[in-house]
């Protein structure tokens, strides 16, 4: 699969939480680039949808934001994971692992046959 | 929780919008800058790098929009904006807005007023704890109408043997007493209750307690809160104090909650005594061992977990058992029940029909008002079509425009609702002033409670939405090209009957129905006021007293009344005086079947006859025509029973033969007829003329103690009766200082109360009919003026081509009359059919009263002519030059 894939519904939040957990506070642009890198540049992120998604996570209390200065001395809004966000990440990750495991069982025999 | 939290943040986001916009702007700006830098680093030209960054962002403005929608609640935001915009629009069209709100307000006010009656008499639960498990039980008998009360032994058996109830209590209807306390003795009404009454009803007490087990015969009394305030200055230490009831010493043990004045919510009673002590206050109280005399009302508290159907089965089993153990009295008896505090079953149907008829009428009024407002909104929509077209052309969706219009009509509905509730506040207090023509105290006051408020609110919302739907739909579909050119864009080509015309036809048709009903009730009031009641009502004073509640023996009572009659007749200014056990038109009266001795003793030979006890000079005092024979003289209890009958008695019982000297038999008692008098109305105004037999009070009072309403002295005066009230009262006090006087009034005042029903009906329907007529007139006027304004240019051309002003005027009038005629043709038969519903409440006229049905159509057409006249004149005065130059 060499074409770039869009982000599936609902997985963006998980990616954001996971990235913030491993990288610490990030600004929006950095977060977007990091997600693309992590996916091995297979994902094509629509930057326009990222900001409303970040706002939603913030309203739900999973992340917090504050203005700061970027590595290039540019004013930017930085996002970081909250305690609630860490718990949410664990829950979502577990759910997601279960889903993929189930799907894997369906797909495995089909390939074998 | 998360959702709630984010909802709160989004609500907060609604305010401080500007800051947020700056915030996201800055964030996106920094995003694009960083992306551009990366692009430059990767070797792109700065211009190209920025272009790529913007493309990847997917458009800064769209992102901003998505962000804003997430940040706030978009629907709430537009809703608030719609509201603000609508308020501005409504404020701008102040005239139209006032008319609309006034129309809806009148409609909703009428509905709220009638619904407050429904709420009071049908929906309100009794003011006792947990009313849903408290049942009012009645007895019924095969073949008889529902419902009857209980004999004491049946009540006792039910109480002891029923498994479904945790307690069963009984009380009698009314017991009169004269009560001490501050001021002159006052006659008050109470009830005698079983000792468990307060335990079963679980009534809250404001002080003291209710009766306890074992106090069946205790000389104790529980006071109503109003009585306690009125006669005992709300004494907080009253529990344990003595009080005199009709000369007997009672101990006050408690004061009950102000909301309670009797379990059935209609009778207004103010004190409660144990059932066993009742004979002390009311000597004619039936015996507790009598199994045939039905006189007790029963309340039963369901055991927890027992359902009404289970209780029904339980009662059916008991009825079967009692029929076996007491076949003579209980065979064919059954039990029925409903929730305590509901309308008494005997009156329920009449009340429900009356309320249903009123509800139909007020809904008609609201519908007429609604049609008016819808028409108005149509006119506004027409005036705003260019505005709408421009907004559509700029990309607003039709749904958005419709929502905007609906918000406006919703606001109108709510405004009307507020006005309506204010109007009904006034109307309910005016209605509560009506007095029923009965001598017992009733509480029939109505008011606005929470049920009425909820109802009015729902009605305002519903009417706001319904009214707005059609105009909103039409307004959101202008013919764009026409609108932008400044031509009428709502008028679809080729349609002769517009929705507005239909509305006005419906409106006038409903007015026809309403006016016919109104006409019927006004005619009914007119015919009621010309009813020949058979006696003279002027200069007649009435005053009631009841020696029996003061412990008088029949002999003492007769003595008292004889002396009183002599003393009062001797007063200067008094022409004559007489005492009767019931004054005419009091709404009640004793009756018995009468027959001539010798005729077969079967049901069909008995004629129902009203019995009245009077002292000599009764007929002279009232001005009842004496036709033959003599008046009562000095009859005594031991002499032969004599009677004076009215003409109807002669016709119906005696078949027209000469009555003097004839003996008649009533309930086993023989009377010799000594005189004949003219017919007079006895119980109610609306009654057919009934046979009446007058008995000598002196002769019959001992063997036939009167009902509980006491005796009334009637005084014929030379001058104004009120000027003698004090003198007559002081004669009563001179004979017995402690005698309570009540129902002191002139006969004219008394008669006013007898006109209660025709008055009430005529004022209600008259008001509604008038409102409906005015609304329909305004509606027709609105439609015709709109039609004229739309046809200005056409009329201008006609006149330029030589049409005379008179012709133009006729053109407009003809159109308005056409609509009216169609409406009358539709509405008249509907009124004809519906008027049958009103038949029960009409006095002396037929529901298909020819006069009413003949007058309403021409009257309505006349009103329509006036309503069309003004627009027609305007059309005729159009200056052709001016009209053609418009635009």
| pLDDT per position as a tens digit, B17-68 | 555 667 778 888 888 888 888 888 888 888 888 888 888 887 777 777 777 7
Single residue among B340, B374, B397 that ends a domain in this structure: B340
- Smallest Cβ–Cβ distance between A46 and the set B6, B30, B58 belongs to B58
Report how far residue B608's alpha carbon sits from residue B591's, in angstroms, rounded to the nearest whole number: 7
- On whether the CB atoms of residues B375 and B782 are closer than 8 A, the answer is yes
Q: What are the φ and ψ backbone dihedral angles of B881, each rounded to 5 degrees?
A: -60, -50
The predicted-structure confidence for B128-174, as pLDDT tens digits, reads as follows: 878 888 999 998 877 666 778 888 999 999 999 998 999 999 998 88
Residue B66 sits in the same domain as residue B167: no
Clarify whether residues B764 and B732 are in a common domain: no
Q: Looking at B97-106, B253-262, B564-573, B697-706, which range is the least confident one?
A: B697-706
When the pLDDT of each residue in chain B is averaged and rounded to a whole number, the result is: 83
Distance from CA of B25 to the nearest CA of A (A): 11
Question: What do you get for the CA distance between the two ends of chain A, in Å?
Answer: 21
**Residue B715 has what pLDDT?**
94
Nearest CA in chain A to B35: A29
Q: Which residues of B touch A72 (CB under 8 A)?
A: 34, 37
Q: Are residues B46 and B165 in the same domain?
A: no
Q: Which residue of A has its CA nearest to B62?
A: A48
Confidence of residue B358 (pLDDT cuts 50, 70, 90): confident
Burial B358-375 (b: 16+ CB within 10 A, else e): bbebbbbbbbbbbbbbbb
Q: Is the pLDDT of residue B487 over 60?
A: no
Cα-based distances in Å from B579 to B536, B542, B565, B746: 16, 9, 7, 15
pLDDT for position B593: 80
Residues of chain B with Cβ-Cβ distance to A46 below 8 Å are: 58
Nearest CB to A51 within list B33, B56, B63:
B63
User: How many CB pairs below 8 Å do chains A and B form together?
Assistant: 70
To the nearest whole Å, the CA of A97 is away from the closest chain B CA by 24
Q: Are residues B442 and B553 in the same domain?
A: no
Residue B102 has pLDDT above 60, yes or no: yes
51-110 of A, contacting B, C-beta below 8 A: 51-52, 55-56, 59-61, 70, 72, 74-77
Do B834 and B762 share a domain, yes or no?
A: yes
The CA–CA distances, whole Å, from B197 to B298, B664, B782 equal: 10, 45, 62
Q: Is it the case that residue B494 has pLDDT exceeding 50?
A: no
- Of B340, B369, B389, the position where a domain reaches its end is B340
- Give me the pLDDT at residue B774, please: 83
User: Which H or E run includes B249?
Assistant: strand B248-256
Question: B614 - beta bridge partners?
Answer: B580, B696
Q: pLDDT band for position B340 (50/70/90)?
A: confident
Inform me whether the C-beta atom of residue B74 falls under 8 Å from chain A C-beta atoms.
Answer: no
Stretch among A6-10, B101-105, B494-498, B654-658 having the lowest mean pLDDT: B494-498
Measured CA to CA, the distance from residue B626 to residue B624 in angstroms comes to 6
pLDDT for the residue A2: 41
Decide if B140 is inside a domain: yes
Q: Within an 8 Å CB–CB cutoff, is residue B294 touching chain A? A: no
Tell me if B695 is assigned to some domain: yes
**Which residues face B726 on adjacent strands?**
none
Partner-chain contact B31 A28, CB within 8 Å? yes
Average the pLDDT over each of A75-84, B180-189, B298-307, B814-823 and give the range with the smallest value.
B180-189
Let me know whether B478 and B506 are in one domain. no
Interface test with B, best of A51, A69, A74, A87 (most B CBs within 10 A): A51
Contact A27 B24 (CB under 8 A): no
Question: Considering the domain boundaries, does residue B540 fall inside one?
Answer: no
Q: Residue A113: which pLDDT band, with cuts at 50, 70 and 90? A: very low
User: Residue A74: which of B33, B62, B69 has the nearest Cβ?
Assistant: B33
Q: Pick from B9, B56, B70: which is nearest to A47 by CB?
A: B56
What pLDDT does B141 receive? 79
Domain containing B58: what range?
2-72
**Beta partners for B205?**
B256
Question: Based on the domain organization, do B515 and B573 belong to the same domain?
Answer: no
Backbone angles phi, psi at B485, to 5 degrees: -80, -10
Domain annotation covers residue B144: yes
Integer-rounded Cα Rg, in Å, for chain B is 38
- Asked if B58 lies within 8 A of A60 by C-beta distance, the reply is no
Q: Which fold has domain A11-112?
A: Arc Repressor Mutant, subunit A (1.10.10)
Instruction: Note whether B782 and B887 are same-domain residues.
Output: yes
A34 touches B: beta carbon within 8 Å: no
Under the banding of pLDDT at 50, 70 and 90, the label for residue B576 is very high
pLDDT digits over B755-812, tens only? 777 777 788 888 888 888 888 888 778 777 777 777 777 888 888 888 888 888 888 8
ipTM of the predicted assembly exceeds 0.85: no
pLDDT surpassing 50 at residue B867: yes
Q: How many domains does chain B have?
A: 5
One domain, residues B501 and B448? no
Q: Is the pLDDT of residue A1 over 60?
A: no
* Helix B756-790 / helix B94-118 crossing angle, nearest 10 deg: 150
A48–B5: do the CB atoms touch at under 8 Å? no
What pLDDT, on the 0 to 100 scale, is given for residue B601? Answer: 66
Q: Sorting pLDDT into bands at 50, 70 and 90, what band is B439?
A: low
Contact B27 A76 (CB under 8 A): yes
Most confident of B171-185, B491-505, B680-694, B781-795: B680-694
Closest CA to B841 of B268, B410, B356, B487: B356
Inside any domain, residue B833: yes
Are B753 and B848 members of one domain? yes
Minimum Cα–Cα distance from B3: chain A residue: A60
- What are the φ and ψ backbone dihedral angles of B722, each rounded to 5 degrees? -65, -30
Q: How far is A113 from chain B (nearest CA, A)?
A: 42
B242 pLDDT more than 50: yes
Nearest CA in chain B to A31: B31
Q: Is residue B569 a part of any domain in this protein?
A: yes
- Report CB contact under 8 Å: B28, A74: no
Percent of chain B exceeding pLDDT 90 equals 20
Q: Report the DSSP beta bridge partners of residue B248.
A: B245
Could you tell me if B84 and B68 lie in one domain? no
Neighbours of B636 (CB within 10 A): 9
Q: Are residues B181 and B303 in the same domain?
A: yes
Rg, chain A, Cα only: 16
Q: Report CB contact under 8 Å: A70, B6.
A: no
pLDDT tens, position by position, B705-715? 555 678 899 99
* Rounded Cα gap, residues B244 and A101, in angstroms: 90
């Amino acid at each position: 699969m060499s074409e770039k894939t869009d982000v599936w519904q609902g997985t963006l939040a998980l990616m954001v939480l996971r990235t913030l957990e491993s990288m610490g506070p990030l600004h929006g642009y950095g977060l977007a680039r990091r997600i693309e890198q992590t996916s091995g540049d297979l994902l094509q992120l629509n930057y326009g949808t990222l900001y409303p998604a970040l706002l939603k996570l913030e309203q739900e209390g999973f992340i917090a934001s504050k203005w700061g200065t970027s590595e290039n001395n540019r004013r930017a809004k930085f996002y970081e994971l909250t305690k609630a966000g860490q718990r949410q990440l664990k829950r979502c990750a577990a759910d997601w692992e279960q889903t993929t495991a189930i799907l894997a069982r369906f797909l495995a025999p089909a390939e074998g046959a | 929780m998360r959702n709630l939290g984010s909802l709160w943040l989004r609500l907060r986001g609604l305010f401080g919008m500007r800051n947020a916009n700056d915030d996201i702007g800055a964030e996106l700006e920094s995003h694009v800058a960083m992306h551009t830098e990366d692009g430059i680093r990767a070797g792109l030209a700065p211009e190209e790098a920025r272009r790529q960054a913007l493309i990847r962002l997917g458009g800064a403005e769209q992102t901003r929009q998505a962000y804003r929608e997430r940040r706030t609640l978009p629907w709430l935001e537009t809703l608030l904006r719609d509201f603000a915009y609508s308020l501005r629009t409504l404020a701008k069209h102040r005239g139209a807005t006032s008319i609309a709100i006034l129309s809806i307000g009148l409609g909703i006010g009428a509905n709220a007023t009638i619904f407050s009656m429904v709420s009071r008499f049908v929906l309100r639960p009794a003011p006792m704890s947990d009313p849903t498990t408290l049942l009012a039980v009645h007895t019924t008998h095969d073949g008889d109408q529902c419902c009857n009360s209980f004999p004491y032994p049946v009540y006792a058996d039910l109480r002891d043997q029923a498994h479904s109830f945790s307690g069963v209590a009984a009380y009698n209807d009314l017991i009169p007493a004269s009560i001490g306390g501050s001021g002159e003795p006052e006659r008050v009404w109470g009830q005698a209750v079983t000792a468990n009454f307060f335990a079963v009803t679980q009534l809250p007490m404001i002080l003291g307690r209710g009766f306890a087990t074992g106090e069946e015969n205790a000389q104790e009394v529980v006071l109503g809160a109003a009585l306690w305030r009125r006669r005992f200055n709300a004494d907080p230490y009253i529990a344990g104090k003595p009080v005199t009831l009709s000369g007997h010493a009672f101990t006050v043990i408690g004061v009950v909650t102000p909301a309670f004045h009797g379990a059935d919510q209609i009778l207004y009673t103010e004190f409660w005594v144990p059932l066993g002590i009742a004979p002390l206050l009311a000597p004619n109280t039936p015996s507790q061992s009598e199994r045939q005399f039905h006189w007790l009302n029963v309340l039963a508290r369901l055991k927890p977990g027992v359902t009404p159907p289970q209780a029904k089965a339980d009662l059916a089993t008991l009825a079967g058992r009692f029929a076996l153990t007491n076949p003579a009295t209980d065979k064919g008896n059954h039990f029925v029940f409903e929730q305590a505090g509901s309308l008494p079953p005997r009156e329920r149907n009449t009340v429900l029909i009356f309320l249903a008829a009123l509800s139909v009428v007020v809904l008609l009024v609201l519908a007429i008002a609604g049609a008016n407002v819808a028409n108005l909104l149509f006119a506004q929509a027409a005036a705003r079509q260019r505005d709408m077209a421009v907004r559509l052309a700029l990309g607003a969706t039709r749904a958005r425009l419709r929502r905007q219009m609906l918000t406006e009509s919703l606001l109108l509905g709510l405004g009307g609702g507020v006005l309506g509730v204010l109007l009904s506040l006034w109307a309910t207090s005016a209605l509560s002033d009506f007095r029923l023509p009965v001598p017992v105290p009733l509480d029939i006051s109505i008011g606005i409670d929470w049920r009425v408020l909820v109802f009015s609110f729902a009605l305002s919302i519903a009417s706001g939405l319904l009214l707005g739907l059609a105009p909103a739909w039409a307004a959101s579909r202008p013919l764009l090209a026409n609108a932008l050119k400044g031509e009428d864009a709502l008028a679809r080509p080729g349609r002769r009957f517009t929705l507005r015309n239909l509305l006005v036809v419906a409106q006038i048709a409903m007015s026809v129905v309403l006016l016919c009903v109104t006409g019927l009730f006004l005619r009914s009031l007119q015919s009621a006021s010309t009813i020949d009641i058979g006696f003279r009502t002027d200069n007649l004073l009435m005053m009631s007293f009841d020696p029996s509640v003061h412990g008088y023996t029949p002999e003492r009572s007769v003595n008292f009344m004889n002396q009183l009659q002599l003393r009062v007749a001797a007063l200067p200014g008094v022409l004559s005086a007489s005492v009767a056990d019931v004054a005419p038109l009091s709404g009640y009266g004793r009756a018995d079947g009468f027959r001539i001795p010798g005729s077969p003793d079967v049901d069909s030979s008995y004629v129902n006859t009203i019995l009245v006890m009077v002292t000599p000079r009764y007929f002279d005092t009232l001005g009842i025509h004496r036709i033959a024979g003599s008046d009562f003289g000095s009859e005594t209890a031991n002499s032969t029973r004599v009677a004076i009958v009215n003409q109807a008695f002669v016709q119906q019982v005696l078949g027209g033969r000469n009555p003097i000297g004839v003996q008649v038999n009533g309930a086993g008692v023989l009377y010799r007829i000594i005189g004949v008098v003219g017919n007079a109305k006895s119980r109610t105004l609306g009654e057919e003329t009934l046979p009446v037999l007058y008995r000598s009070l002196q002769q019959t009072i001992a063997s036939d103690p009167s009902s509980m309403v006491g005796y009334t002295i009637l005084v014929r005066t030379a001058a104004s009766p009120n000027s003698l009230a004090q003198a007559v009262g002081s004669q009563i006090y001179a004979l017995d200082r402690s005698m309570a006087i009540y129902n002191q009034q002139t006969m004219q005042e008394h008669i006013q109360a007898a006109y209660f029903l025709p008055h009430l009906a005529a004022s209600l329907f008259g008001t509604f009919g008038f409102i409906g007529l005015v609304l329909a007139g305004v509606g027709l006027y609105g439609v015709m003026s709109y039609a004229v304004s739309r046809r200005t240019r056409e009329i201008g051309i006609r006149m330029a081509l030589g049409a005379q002003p008179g012709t133009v005027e006729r053109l407009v009038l003809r159109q308005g009359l056409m609509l009216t005629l169609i409406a009358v043709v539709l509405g008249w038969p509907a009124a004809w059919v519906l008027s049958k519903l009103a038949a029960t409440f009409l006095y002396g006229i037929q529901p298909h009263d020819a006069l009413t049905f003949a007058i309403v159509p021409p009257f309505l057409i006349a009103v329509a002519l006036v309503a069309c006249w003004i627009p027609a004149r305007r059309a005729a005065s159009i200056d052709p030059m001016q009209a053609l130059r418009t635009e």
